[in-house]
């Protein structure tokens, strides 16, 4: 049975799943999995998440340095296949054929046998935001598809409104969010002429805050109250996830209006809270994967183990998206 409009917050208590000792702060050790420098490329829609992952990892292991380049998903895969980096984060998994090709390239060009590992680390909701002056509260999947394709180009096409043209704001037209909209929402059709690139996720948020007729598309972690974690010191952030305590998921910001979304054959619409991502009520979501060719004995492999392990998953929980490995505790709170 669905919960009422009050939102059930998802709490992560990985200690109960993985054993209490695994949730303690890691001890420093002499192995290279916790020291050295490595690079990786991360889809830029997950930048705020991985900034926190790196901060906590480097806090735990002062001799480790993770240099992250934030780029489009296509650029991340290009870097992986050109052997310029060993680890990437993307909204799709590497295919079996790609794994074989990557292993063959390492063997040919480096004379090395590598193991290609990948893991789903989270589920991200694709959220739609509008200016608080916009009276729109919810949209169906079909209405969103019509907006993204340009078939609905005025707010008055959806409900009585004086806002005029609908201006869709994306981070970049070639980003993984754009690919999601084209492939999953529009079933392969192209985005419409009313879609504009802001240049970055941060700019999407800023434009919507200042543009009443805009609708922004971004990952839900960018619109949670946990964005205040950006103001925490590295030590404060680390200490907030290194205890054995369960982590309470983030709520949504009030700086912009987050639209509810419902499937065409359903009456109830949902905001992209973690509970509704978890139970499938929120209809628009995508998987996040970490892919690496690094061995477990170097720092790139160590960081992969960290992100896919208990502390890395607790960090993901705090950002407002759904970690891949969860133990659920439901706490009803009034929607704010």
The CA-atom distances, in angstroms, between 311 and each of 9, 24, 76, 85, 325 are 19, 9, 24, 24, 11
Residue 13 pLDDT level (bands cut at 50, 70, 90) = very low
Q: What is the mean pLDDT of residues 187-195?
A: 94
169 vs 335, more confident: 169
153 pLDDT higher than 80: yes
Residue 312 or 251, more confident: 312
pLDDT at residue 234, as a whole number? 76
pLDDT tens sequence across 205-245:
999 999 999 999 999 989 885 555 556 677 777 777 776 66
Query: What percentage of the chain exceeds 90 in pLDDT?
Result: 71
* DSSP-derived secondary structure letter, 313: H
Looking at residue 330, its pLDDT comes to 54
Examine the pLDDT at 12 and tell me if it is beyond 60: no
pLDDT of 46 above 90:
yes
- pLDDT tens per residue across span 114-138: 999 999 999 999 999 999 999 999 9
Q: How far apart are CA 299 and CA 25, in angstroms?
A: 17
59-67: average pLDDT: 95
DSSP 8-state class, residue 67: E
Mean pLDDT across 127-150: 96
Q: What is the mean pLDDT of the chain?
A: 86
And the tokens for 309? 């392990």
Question: Is the CB of residue 12 less than 8 Å from the CB of residue 280?
Answer: no
The more confidently predicted of residues 148 and 248 is 148
- Give the DSSP H or E segment for 101: helix 96-110
CA nearest to 222, candidates 48, 43, 42: 48
Q: In this predicted structure, what is the pLDDT of residue 318?
A: 85
pTM: 0.85
Q: Has residue 309 got a pLDDT over 90? A: yes
Could you give the CA distance from residue 123 to residue 1 in angstroms, rounded to a whole number? 22
Both tokens assigned to 9: 């917050």
For residue 297, pLDDT over 60 is answered with yes
| Cβ(89)–Cβ(42) below 8 Å | yes
Nearest to 252 by CA among 121, 127, 124, 123: 127
- Residue 81: how many CB atoms within 10 A of its CB? 15
* β-pair partners for 165: 154
Q: What three-state secondary structure class fits 11? A: strand
């Amino acid at each position: 049975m669905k919960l009422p409009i009050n939102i059930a917050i998802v709490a992560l208590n990985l200690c109960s799943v993985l054993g209490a000792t695994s949730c303690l702060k890691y001890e420093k050790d002499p192995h290279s999995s916790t020291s050295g420098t490595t690079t990786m490329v991360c889809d830029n829609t997950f930048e705020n998440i991985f900034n926190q992952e790196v901060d906590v990892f480097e806090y735990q292991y002062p001799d480790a340095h993770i240099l992250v380049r934030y780029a489009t998903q296509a650029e991340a895969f290009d870097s992986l296949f050109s052997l310029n980096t060993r680890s990437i984060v993307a909204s799709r998994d590497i295919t079996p054929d790609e794994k074989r090709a990557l292993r063959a390239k390492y063997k040919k060009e480096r004379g090395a046998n590598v193991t290609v590992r990948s893991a789903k680390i989270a589920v991200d909701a694709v959220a739609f935001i509008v200016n608080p002056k916009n009276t729109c509260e919810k949209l169906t999947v079909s209405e969103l598809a019509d907006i993204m394709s340009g078939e609905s180009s005025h707010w008055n096409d959806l409900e009585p409104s004086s806002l005029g043209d609908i201006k869709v704001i994306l981070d970049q037209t070639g980003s993984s969010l754009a690919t999601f909209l084209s492939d999953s929402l529009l079933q392969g059709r192209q985005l419409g002429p009313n879609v504009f690139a802001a240049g970055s996720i941060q700019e999407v948020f800023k434009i919507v805050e200042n543009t009443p007729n805009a609708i922004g598309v971004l990952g839900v972690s960018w619109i949670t109250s946990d964005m205040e974690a950006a103001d925490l010191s590295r030590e404060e952030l680390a200490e907030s996830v290194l205890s054995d305590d369960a982590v309470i998921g983030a709520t949504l910001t009030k700086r912009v209006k987050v639209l509810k979304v419902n499937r065409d054959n359903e009456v109830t619409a949902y905001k992209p809270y973690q509970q509704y991502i978890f139970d499938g009520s929120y209809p628009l979501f995508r998987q996040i994967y970490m892919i690496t060719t690094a061995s477990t004995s170097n720092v790139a492999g160590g960081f992969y183990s960290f992100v896919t392990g208990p502390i890395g998953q607790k960090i993901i929980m705090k950002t407002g998206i759904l970690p891949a490995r969860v133990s659920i505790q439901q706490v009803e709170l009034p929607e704010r």
